[in-house]
Chain A
Amino acid sequence: MDQSAEMIESAVDGAGGLRTHGVGKHFGGVYAVRDVSISVGDGEIVGLIGPNGAGKTSLMNVISGVLTVDEGDIEIDGVSITSLATADCARMGVARTFQNIRIFSQLDVRQNVQVALTTALRHRASYARGLGVDDFLDILGIADVAPRKAGTLPYGTQRRLEIARALALYPRVLLLDEPAAGMNETETEALMETIRSLHDRFDFGILVIDHDLRFIMNLCQRIYVMDMGAIIAHGIPAEIRANPKVQEVYLGGRHD
């Protein structure tokens, strides 16, 4: 990859996908997110890294309507979703997973996906492509546990279920908050393949947070680096690896 991130970004400019413009979020006097402008174009896999407490999850919360926006604007396909409540953001095509898993533990695996698919069929009919609950389970490779109660699944499978559930929204952008957390190397490798297959199969963009830099560098076409609420660097993986600011704040020992 010798294209620079700016070139890629300008190529997706005007096209569909997620865009934030100067987004800010503060708790009391403390900025968790400060003046963040990012884009995730159709078919892109974009990484978001940064040390603990950098504001990565807060940014996803703001984009998905879980937190209200204090400053700036958020758009999907050029339509502002800035002031929408969580459920309405989902209906506009923002799908997400959670850093601390939030499956519907008392429902079975199929029903977990059904919850999202019902939303898609009712409110995103023009995007729905006729896939059924079992298709989404197949895509994530968890069809064999379909009738199991979700709360009884192993950790890694629960993370996969969260992705299957998010896919069933037929999203325009998929936000993955540390999807590989708690997974061993083999599981992480397999998850990476799965996410790549999503990229091949669907046309939505993916924004993925992780602390595993190898995972992010191998998976993503572009990477944003966050620190203290702000984007401090942006580039293709090679640029990020070489960026001295990044090495200082993120690669240089502060990473857990």
Chain B
Amino acid sequence: MSLITQTAARTILPAIVLAGAAALVMLLGQPFHERVAYVFFTNLIIVLGLQVFMGNSNVANLGHIAFAGIAGYAVAILYTPVALKAALIPGAPFGLDNVALGLVPAILVALAITLLVALLSGLALSRLTGVAATIGTMALLVIVHVVLVNWVELTRGPRAFYGVPVIFTLPWAVGAAVIAVYIAKLFRESQDGIQLRATGDNLLAAKAMGVDVERVRLKAWILGAFLCGTGGILFTLFNGTIAPNSFYFSQTFLTIAMLILGGMRSVSGAITGSIVVAVGFEVFRSLENGPVILGIDLPEAFGLTGFFLGAVIVLSLTFRPMGLMGNDEWEDVWPALRARLAGRREGRP
């Protein structure tokens, strides 16, 4: 079986789980639940984008949300009708207040801009490892945020950019997420993906095996940016309103918590973490409002969700640094368990 079909087969289980969850929400849930589910899927796509680079290269990345922001703003500015833009961003640079693209061209141009920024930033960042990489990627996030906030003529600055046509519904997000899972899995098992994982595992040995470290890192960086950008576009064309803070630290924190809890080394880790953290996040969000549970009227406790995310990151780094899934995909869990049991029976460690 070729890698393409083999990966398709390995995507069936996550596809069933994701589509099944969405179907349940659509059948049983309120419109509010459908909203939550949609945002879950856009987050999942972003987490998968993060996994492609960070999980395979083992280099920290705190800047991935920048690409969601670039793509989200680009599609908002390109696709919002001219009449609305006259009110929102009159006299926008490049005459952008006077033109609006069709849906598909707007998305393609937004992705192209995202990829261009990914290429340029990647050329610089792919040389970095360790603390330098962490700080460098975070600097990227801050730079993009500063531009979004201060380029008022183009983005409305810190104020919300509203009136973006709402295009997508939950099934679109599910479809995109399944494709993103497929892409992430395909990359992980590809020759470049395996070489990149080798660099994350033992950098010196990878070089001694002729791996071009910067090149494989750059590829993953750009592919990850593509997925994050896709997540940003899907979010924007569903939400209709965005602001620079939609794509900043809280979103970074949320998606990092998802990846770390699930385990960044596998695509299944990204999915698992996204699900668990999303559910936990909703529980804590409802607690924030001080609900009445079992007759007890709980006080309002704003900030609980932030506390929850911090706790998830600290606890999983402390007690399960490789995340829930470790190095395994869902389909590896059973064979791995069986091998370990067999090994124990033979007295192997």
Residues of A within 8 A of B (CB): 64-66, 85-88, 90-91, 95-96, 98, 102-107, 111-112, 114-116, 118-120, 123, 148-149, 152, 165-166, 169
* Known A111-B194, A149-B327: A104·B206 in contact at CB below 8 Å: yes
Write the nearest CB–CB distance from A145 to chain B, whole angstroms. Answer: 11
Closest to B207 in A: A86
* B315 contacts A by Cβ under 8 Å: no
Residues of B within 8 A of A (CB): 191, 194-195, 197-198, 200-202, 204-213, 265, 327, 339, 349
Query: Do B265 and A165 have beta carbons less than 8 Å apart?
Result: no
Write the nearest CB–CB distance from B255 to chain A, whole angstroms. Answer: 23
Query: Do A123 and B202 have beta carbons less than 8 Å apart?
Result: no
**Bound: A87/B212 CA distance, A:** 7
When distances are taken between beta carbons in the complex, the residues of chain B under 8 Å from A104 are: 197-198, 201-202, 205-206
Query: Do A165 and B327 have beta carbons less than 8 Å apart?
Result: no
**Bound: A118/B195 CA distance, A:** 8
**Bound: A114/B209 CA distance, A:** 10
Write the nearest CB–CB distance from A161 to chain B, whole angstroms. Answer: 11
Query: Do A115 and B265 have beta carbons less than 8 Å apart?
Result: no
**Bound: A166/B197 CA distance, A:** 17
Query: Do A96 and B208 have beta carbons less than 8 Å apart?
Result: yes
**Bound: A254/B238 CA distance, A:** 75
**Bound: A106/B211 CA distance, A:** 17
Residue of A87, A148, A152, A165 touching B207 (CB-CB under 8 A):
A87
Beyond contacts A114-B191, A115-B209: 18 other A-B pairs, Cβ-Cβ < 8 A, are A64-B208, A66-B208, A87-B207, A87-B211, A87-B212, A87-B213, A98-B205, A102-B202, A104-B198, A104-B205, A104-B206, A105-B201, A106-B197, A111-B194, A116-B209, A119-B210, A119-B211, A169-B209
**Bound: A95/B195 CA distance, A:** 16
Closest to A110 in B: B194
Closest to A111 in B: B194
Main SS class of interface, B: helix
Closest to A96 in B: B208
**Cβ-closest 5 pairs across A and B:** A119-B210, A90-B210, A102-B205, A86-B207, A104-B201
Query: Do A66 and B194 have beta carbons less than 8 Å apart?
Result: no
**Bound: A130/B197 CA distance, A:** 25
When distances are taken between beta carbons in the complex, the residues of chain B under 8 Å from A152 are: 349
**Bound: A119/B207 CA distance, A:** 10
Write the nearest CB–CB distance from A39 to chain B, whole angstroms. Answer: 22
Write the nearest CB–CB distance from B343 to chain A, whole angstroms. Answer: 8
Query: Do A107 and B201 have beta carbons less than 8 Å apart?
Result: yes
**Bound: A63/B198 CA distance, A:** 22
Write the nearest CB–CB distance from B263 to chain A, whole angstroms. Answer: 11
Counting chain A CB atoms within 10 Å of each CB, which of B191, B194, B205, B339 scores highest? Answer: B205
Counting chain A CB atoms within 10 Å of each CB, which of B198, B200, B208, B339 scores highest? Answer: B208
Closest to B322 in A: A106
When distances are taken between beta carbons in the complex, the residues of chain A under 8 Å from B202 are: 102-105
Contact sample, A vs B, 9 pairs, CB 8 Å cutoff: A87-B210, A88-B210, A90-B210, A91-B210, A102-B202, A103-B202, A104-B198, A105-B202, A120-B210
When distances are taken between beta carbons in the complex, the residues of chain A under 8 Å from B327 are: 106, 149
When distances are taken between beta carbons in the complex, the residues of chain B under 8 Å from A123 are: 210
When distances are taken between beta carbons in the complex, the residues of chain B under 8 Å from A86 are: 204, 207-208
Query: Do B206 and A115 have beta carbons less than 8 Å apart?
Result: yes
* Known A102-B204, A105-B202: A148·B210 in contact at CB below 8 Å: no
Write the nearest CB–CB distance from B70 to chain A, whole angstroms. Answer: 32
When distances are taken between beta carbons in the complex, the residues of chain A under 8 Å from B206 are: 104, 115
Write the nearest CB–CB distance from B320 to chain A, whole angstroms. Answer: 16
**Bound: A176/B197 CA distance, A:** 24
When distances are taken between beta carbons in the complex, the residues of chain B under 8 Å from A105 are: 201-202
**Bound: A105/B205 CA distance, A:** 11
* Known A104-B202, A106-B201, A149-B327: A85·B194 in contact at CB below 8 Å: no
